[in-house]
Structure 1
Amino acid sequence: MTLEEKIAQLVGYWVDQGGEVVAPLAGEMATSTRYDEATLHGLGHLTRVYGTRPVDPVERAEWLWAEQRRLTSETRLGIPAIVHEECLTGLAAWKAATFPTPLAWGAAFDPALVEEMGLLIGGSMKQLGIHQGLAPVLDVIRDPRWGRVDECIAEDPYVVGTIGTAYVTGLQAAGVHATLKHFVGYSATQAGRNHAPVHAGSREINDVFLPPFEMAVLDGGVRSVMNSYAEIDGAPVGGTPEYLTEILRDRWGFDGVVVSDYFSVAFLQLMHAVAADRGEAAELALTAGIDVELPTGDAFLAPLIERVRAGQTDEALIDRAVLRVLAQKEDLGLLDETFTMAPTEIDLDSPEHRRVARVLAEESLILLTNNGVLPLVGAGDRGPATIAVLGPNADSTEALMGCYSFVNHVLAHHPDVPADLEMPTVLEALAKEFPSAEVVFAAGCEVEGSDSSAIAAAVETARAADVAVVVVGDRAGLFGRGTVGEGNDVESLELPGLQRDLVEAVVATGTPVVMVLMTGRPYAVAWAVEGPLAPAAVLQAFFPGEEGGVAIASVLSGAVAPTGHLPVSLPRSAGAQPFSYLHPILGGPSDVTSVDSTPVLPFGHGLSYTTFERTDLTADAEVAAGGTFTASVRIRNTGERAGTDLVQLYAKDTYASVTRPVAQLLGYHRVTLEPGEEAQVTFRVPTARLAFTGLRHERIVEPGAVELWVGPSCAGKETTAEISLTGAVHRVTLADGRYVETSVLRAPADTPVRETETARA
Structure 2
Amino acid sequence: MTTTLPGQTGLTPAHPWTDPSLPVDERVEALLARLSLEEKVAQLSSTWDDIEADGPEVAPGSNHFGRVGDLDQVARHGLGQLTRPYGTLPRPALEHARLLAERQRQVMAQSRFGIPAMAHDECLTGFTAYGATIYPTSLAMAATFDPALIRRVGAAIGTDMAEAGVHQGLAPVVDVIRDYRWGRCEETYGEDPYLVGEMGEAYVNGLQSAGVFATLKHFAGYSASMGGRNHAPVGIGRRELYDVILPPFERVVAAGVGSVMNSYAEIDGEAPAASRWLLTEVLREQWGFEGTVVSDYWSLPFLVNAHRVAADLPDAGALALRAGLDVELPDQRGFGDALVEAVREGRATEADVDRAVRRVLRQKVALGLLDADWDPEPPALRAGELDLDKPASRQLAHAVAQSSAVLLSNDGGLPLPATGRIALIGPCADDVRTMFGCYSFPNHVLADRDDLGNGVEAAPLREALAAELPGVEWEFAPGCPIRDEDASGIPAAVEASHRADLTVLVVGDKAGMFGVGTSGEGCDVEDLRLPGVQEELVEAVLAGGKPVVLVVNSGRPYAVGRFAAGTAAMVQVFLPGEEGGRAVAELLSGAANFSGKLPVQIPNSPAGQPYTYLHPPLGDRQSWLSNLDPTPAFPFGHGLSYTTFSVDGLRLDREQVPTDGEFEVFVRVRNTGAVRGAETVQLYFTDPVAQVTRPVRALLAFTKVELEPGEETIVRFAVHTDRFAFTGVEGHRIVEPGEILLHAGSSSGDTPNEAVLRLTGGQRNL
What TM-score do the two structures reach when normalised by structure 2?
0.92
Q: 2:410 aligns with which of 361, 365, 370?
A: 370
Q: 1:153 to 1:254 in 2, by over 3 A?
A: same
Report SS of the residue matched to 2:669. strand
Aligned to 1:617: 650
1:470 aligns with 2:500: no
Whether the aligned pair in 1 keeps the contact of 2:562 and 2:604 (CA below 8 Å) is no
**CA positional deviation for 1:72:** 2.3
Between 577-586 and 426-435, report the one with greater CA deviation: 577-586
1:202 Cα deviation after fit: 1.1
Task: Name the residue aligned to 2:562.
Answer: 527
Identify the residue that residue 201 of structure 1 maps to in structure 2: 237
Amino acid at match of 1:602: P
CA positional deviation for 1:30: 7.5
Which residue of the partner structure matches residue 694 of structure 2? Answer: 660
SS in 1 for 2:484: coil
Decide whether aligned partners of structure 1 residues 182 and 25 sit closer, same or farther in structure 2, where only a CA change above 3 A counts. Answer: farther
Shift in Å at residue 466 of structure 1?
2.0
- The amino acid of 1:339's aligned partner reads P
- For 1:292, the aligned partner's letter is V
Find the counterpart in structure 1 of residue 475 from structure 2.
440
Q: CA deviation at 1:574?
A: 4.3
Q: Distance in 2 between matches of 1:41 and 1:618?
A: 64
CA contact (8 A) 2:49 2:83 kept: yes
Match of 2:548 in 1: 513
Q: Distance in 2 between matches of 1:224 and 1:440?
A: 50
Q: SS at 1:334's partner residue?
A: coil
Q: Residue 159 of structure 2 is aligned with which of 123, 131, 134?
A: 123
User: What is the CA–CA distance in structure 2 between the aligned matches of 1:442 and 1:575, rounded to whole Å?
Assistant: 30
Per the TM alignment, residue 18 of structure 1 is displaced from its structure 2 partner at its CA by 2.9
Alignment of 1:24-173 (within 5 A): 31-32=66-67, 34-173=70-209
Query: For 1:576, what is the secondary structure of its paired residue?
Result: coil
Determine the C-alpha separation between the residues in 1 that align with 2:361 and 2:640.
51
Partner of 1:605: 638
Which of 706, 710, 720 lines up with 1:672 in the alignment? Answer: 706
Q: Distance in 2 between matches of 1:375 and 1:222?
A: 42
Q: Does 2:339 correspond to 1:339? A: no
Q: Report the CA distance shift for 1:145/1:540 in structure 2 as closer, same or farther (over 3 A).
A: same
Match of 2:757 in 1: 723
Residue 577 of structure 1 corresponds to: 609
Q: Distance in 2 between matches of 1:313 and 1:645?
A: 56
One-letter code aligned to 2:478: A
In 2, Cα distance between equivalents of 1:112 and 1:268: 40
**CA-to-partner distance for each residue in 1:541-561, whole Å, 9 max, x for gaps?**
000000000111011001111
Residues 400/31 of structure 1: CA separation in 2 closer, same or farther (3 Å cut): farther
Seen in structure 2, the aligned counterparts of structure 1 residues 293 and 123 have a Cα distance that, compared at 3 Å, is: same
Deviations 1:54-83, CA, capped at 9 Å, x for gaps: 121101111211221232234212100000
- Map Cα deviations across residues 201-232 of structure 1 (whole Å, 9 max, x no partner): 1111111111111111112x101110111111
Change (3 A) 1:340 1:502: closer
Q: Which residue of 2 aligns with 1:757?
A: none
SS at structure 1 position matched to 2:657: strand
Equivalent residue for 1:649?
A: 683
- CA distance in 2 between partners of 1:586 and 1:105 (Å): 31
* Consecutive unaligned residues in structure 2, runs of 5 or more: 1-34
**Counterpart in 2 of 1:758?**
none
Structure 1 segment 403-552 matched on structure 2, within 5 A: 403-530=438-565, 534-552=566-584
Deviations 1:230-266 (A, max 9, x none): 1111111111111111111111111110000000011
**CA distance 1:588–1:497, shift in 2 (3 Å):** same
- From 259, 264, 278, the counterpart of 2:294: 259
How far off is 1:31 after superposition?
Answer: 4.9
Cα distance per residue 1:445-499 (max 9 Å; x no partner): 1001222211111112222222211111011111110111111111121001111
Which deviates more from structure 2 when the two are superposed, residues 332-341 or residues 723-732?
Answer: 332-341
2-structure distance, mates of 1:429, 1:90: 22
Partner SS, residue 218 of structure 2:
strand
Cα shift readout 1:516-566 (whole Å, capped 9, x = no counterpart) = 101000001132123xxx221110000000000011101100111111111
State which drifts further: 100-109 or 500-509: 500-509
TM superposition shift of 1:283:
0.9
Instruction: Give the deviation of 1:340 after TM superposition.
Output: 5.0
2:313 equivalent in structure 1: 278
2:26 aligns with none
Does 2:728 align with 1:691?
Answer: no
1:227 maps to amino acid: N
Instruction: Give, in angstroms, the shift of residue 514 of structure 1.
Output: 0.7
Q: Distance in 2 between matches of 1:508 and 1:144?
A: 28
Shift in alpha-carbon separation, 1:293–1:656, aligned structure 2, 3 A: same
What do residues 99-152 of structure 1 show as CA deviations (whole Å, max 9, x unaligned)?
Answer: 000000111111000000110100000011000000000000000000000001
**CA-CA distance at 1:273 after TM superposition:** 0.5
Deviation at 1:503?
Answer: 1.9
Partner letter of residue 645 of structure 2? Answer: F
Write the distance in 2 (CA, Å) between the matches of 1:75 and 1:307: 22
Q: Is the 8 A contact 2:67 2:73 kept in 1?
A: no
Three-state SS of the structure 1 residue aligned to 2:607 is helix
> Partners in 2 of 1:81 and 1:398 — Cα distance?
34
> Which amino acid in 2 is paired with 1:617?
L
* CA deviation after TM superposition for structure 1 residue 384, in Å: 3.0
Question: What is the identity, as a one-letter code, of the residue corresponding to 2:238?
Answer: S
1:329 aligns with 2:367: no
Query: Which of these residues, 282, 307, 317, is aligned with residue 247 of structure 1?
Result: 282
Could you tell me whether the CA contact under 8 Å between 1:389 and 1:441 is conserved in 2? yes
Query: Aligned partners of 1:174, 1:613: CA distance in 2, in Å?
Result: 40
1:706 aligns with 2:740: yes
Whole-angstrom CA distance in 1 between matches of 2:377 and 2:489 = 58
Aligned-residue Cα RMSD (Å) equals 1.6
The one-letter code matched in structure 1 to 2:698 is Q
In the other structure, the counterpart of 1:561 is 593
Q: 1:13 aligned to 2:65? A: no
Moved more, 394-403 or 671-680: 671-680
Distance change (3 Å), C-alpha of 1:449 and 1:67: closer
Q: Which AA in structure 2 matches 1:611?
A: T
Q: 2:731 & 2:343 partners in 1: Cα distance?
A: 38
Q: 1:214 aligns with which of 240, 250, 266?
A: 250
Deviations 1:585-606 (A, max 9, x none): 1122112122211112110111
TM-score normalised by L of structure 1:
0.93
* CA distance 1:73–1:24, shift in 2 (3 Å): closer
> Aligned AA for 1:364?
S
C-alpha contact 2:52 2:67 (8 A) present in aligned 1 = no
* Cα deviation 1:703-729 (Å, max 9, x = unaligned): 111111112211223111111111111
3-state SS of the aligned residue for 2:450? Answer: coil
The equivalences for 1:590-601 within 5 A come to: 590=622, 591-601=624-634
> Are the aligned partners of 2:664 and 2:717 in contact in 1 as well (CA < 8 Å)?
yes
> What is the CA–CA distance in structure 2 between the aligned matches of 1:505 and 1:222, rounded to whole Å?
50
Question: Who is 1:307 aligned against?
Answer: 342
Give the fraction of aligned pairs with identical amino acids, expressed as a percent. Answer: 52
Deviates more, 1:6-15 or 1:672-681: 672-681
